[in-house]
Amino acid sequence: MAKQDEQTVGKVHTGFCAFVQDLPSNPSSEKLKDLILAFCGVKDLGFDVSTKDYIYGAVEYYKGNVREGDKKTPCALGDS
Amino acid sequence: MTLTNSGKDWLARNAGVNNCFASSGVSYKDLEGNSHTGSTTDVAAMLVVASLLGYPYTTKEIVNGKSYEDFVKANGYDLDIEDVKTVCELQEATTPYCAAVATPTTTPTVTPTPTTKCEWFSDHIPMMSADIMDLVRAYLDIIDLGWDVSAADIMGAVAYYLGDKDRGNEFTGCSL
């Protein structure tokens, strides 16, 4: 399935992908923590973390596994 | 999704303020070793991050010198993403969750004991089986240790022999 264009999916993907785009090069567990808090509705990051897959994908980005992260999220960091 | 009472107590004691869940004032470290101050929920979420990343992140210090592995030992189960919401609810409750306070054990009233007896016990620590036999002989009036040996003294000696000084002291009335 082709990756969704961030511009067409509204704040959900645009915000999320921008948030995680530097995780592969600059791993931050604080960012992962904030995604979990947002998923639980505890913190507002300005975008929705609608499924756990977003978190699992971000974890892959953190580990430098960009392709695996892209599989779990609507982002296409591997294409950039 | 399993956050046990032991896990909650661990969080309250290690990631709380005055043994209670707190919305601020909790010092913790992220997995890169940077220090932060936040809430009990922040710590719970960081613990989940460590779990998701796996070893060796599970061994890194997060709060109060303790790691995710330390938490799991207390909780008995892994911490899930959904558990973070539970922690937040307990933290934001009208009365935030607090760790159970250990009930102090009743200290038995110790009757003052002749020094000679306690000196004898003190001189025979670590207790040997031959010492216990001497106590039995003294109890049976076969030998004289210089003080009257009671059955409780023998039981205390056995406790000392087993390495349980507190129990031994309860029986003998001494403070070894």
pLDDT, tens digit (0-9, with 9 covering 90-100), for A5-49? 444 444 445 699 999 999 999 999 999 999 999 999 999 999 999
Cross-chain residue pair B49–A33, CB shorter than 8 Å: yes
Q: How high is the pLDDT of residue A61? A: 97
Cross-chain residue pair A33–B41, CB shorter than 8 Å: no
- Top pLDDT among B115 and A73 is at A73
Res. B158: pLDDT tops 90: yes
Least Cα distance to B56 among B36, B31, B27, B77 occurs for B31
Question: What is the rounded distance in angstroms from the CA atom of residue B26 to the CA atom of residue B41?
Answer: 10
Q: How high is the pLDDT of residue A26? A: 96
Residue of A42, A62, A63 lying closest to B84 (CB–CB): A42
- Top pLDDT among A3 and B109 is at B109
Q: Work out the pLDDT band at B50, boundaries 50, 70, 90.
A: very high
B30: Cα separation from own chain's centroid: 27
Mean pLDDT for the stretch of residues B160-172: 91
Question: What is the rounded distance in angstroms from the CA atom of residue A35 to the CA atom of residue B64?
Answer: 23
Q: Work out the pLDDT band at B101, boundaries 50, 70, 90.
A: confident
Question: What is the rounded distance in angstroms from the CA atom of residue B59 to the CA atom of residue A71?
Answer: 28
Cross-chain residue pair B84–A55, CB shorter than 8 Å: no
Q: How high is the pLDDT of residue B111? A: 60
Q: How high is the pLDDT of residue B105? A: 67
Cross-chain residue pair B45–A37, CB shorter than 8 Å: yes
What residues in B contact A28, CB-CB < 8 Å? 30, 32
- Among A13-17, B26-30, B46-50, the range scoring the smallest mean pLDDT is A13-17
Average pLDDT of chain B, as a whole number = 91
Contact A28, A69 (CB under 8 A): no
Q: Work out the pLDDT band at B142, boundaries 50, 70, 90.
A: confident
Contact B28, B44 (CB under 8 A): no
Question: What is the rounded distance in angstroms from the CA atom of residue B82 to the CA atom of residue B41?
Answer: 12
What is the tally of helices (H) and strands (E) in chain A?
Answer: 4, 0
Res. A4: pLDDT tops 90: no
Cross-chain residue pair A36–B45, CB shorter than 8 Å: yes
Q: Work out the pLDDT band at B125, boundaries 50, 70, 90.
A: confident
Tens digit of each residue's pLDDT (9 = 90 or more) over B36-47:
999 999 999 999
Contact B74, B3 (CB under 8 A): no
Residue of B30, B41, B88 lying closest to A29 (CB–CB): B30
Q: Work out the pLDDT band at B110, boundaries 50, 70, 90.
A: low
Question: What is the rounded distance in angstroms from the CA atom of residue A23 to the CA atom of residue A69?
Answer: 10
Residue of A30, A36, A63 lying closest to B48 (CB–CB): A36
What residues in A contact B48, CB-CB < 8 Å? 33, 36
Cross-chain residue pair A37–B41, CB shorter than 8 Å: yes
What residues in A contact B43, CB-CB < 8 Å? none
- Among A57-61, B111-115, B141-145, the range scoring the smallest mean pLDDT is B111-115
Residue of B30, B34, B49 lying closest to A36 (CB–CB): B49
Alpha carbon distances (Å) from B40 to B47, B66, B67, B92: 11, 14, 14, 10
